[in-house]
Amino acid sequence: MSFEISQDKLFTVEKPAVRIGRHVVLTAISCVLAAFLAGAAAATDLLTGLQAPIFGGSNGASLTAAQTGETLKQQARANAANNNKPPVVVDPNAAFVQAITSQLTGLVAETIASKIANSTNGQAGTIRSGGVVITYVNSDGELTVTIATPTGTSELTIPVAGGS
């Protein structure tokens, strides 16, 4: 190919000595067009909008994701702190001792409740166990039971049969 500069034209192109097939030209045009479009697609502006409610948006997903991430970090720190503590030694007999204690306490409570419930008109009494004081009075067809503990007092009044 040769170029020649003239007064009228900026340049002229002479026909090449070799003929190019139509499919080669179409392929070349396609490649140039594809490169142009790919470059145009890569050069588009990227616009972002603030969507978190804290900035006036309506999409709470980003805020929720941030809060979830912070919660996970706090849990990881707490787990790491707990892993540094010595393990708690559990007595294999503790469950058995607790069951026996519970059963005995239930039997004592049943015995006391039975004594109070079977009291007759005019009977009264006080039962002490540790910090608990149980007082009962059966008078005039009513059984009044007062239970005082270190955390408070409860009173129960029950009508009984055979009262005056």
Per-residue confidence (pLDDT) for residue 78, from 0 to 100? 83
Task: Report the C-alpha dihedral over residues 115, 120, 124, 127, rounded to 10 degrees.
Answer: 0
Per-residue confidence (pLDDT) for residue 104, from 0 to 100? 92
Per-residue confidence (pLDDT) for residue 15, from 0 to 100? 53
Question: Residues in the chain with pLDDT < 70?
Answer: 1-63, 87, 162-164
Task: Give the number of other CB atoms < 10 A from CB of residue 143.
Answer: 19
Per-residue confidence (pLDDT) for residue 3, from 0 to 100? 47
pTM over 0.75: no
Each residue's pLDDT tens digit, 104-128: 989 988 998 999 988 888 999 999 9
What is the C-alpha to C-alpha distance for residues 79 and 3, in angstroms, rounded to an integer? 78
The token pair at 42 is 């890569």
Per-residue confidence (pLDDT) for residue 162, from 0 to 100? 64
In contact, 135 and 126? CB cutoff 8 Å: yes
Q: Which sequence spans correspond to the domains of the chain?
A: 3-37
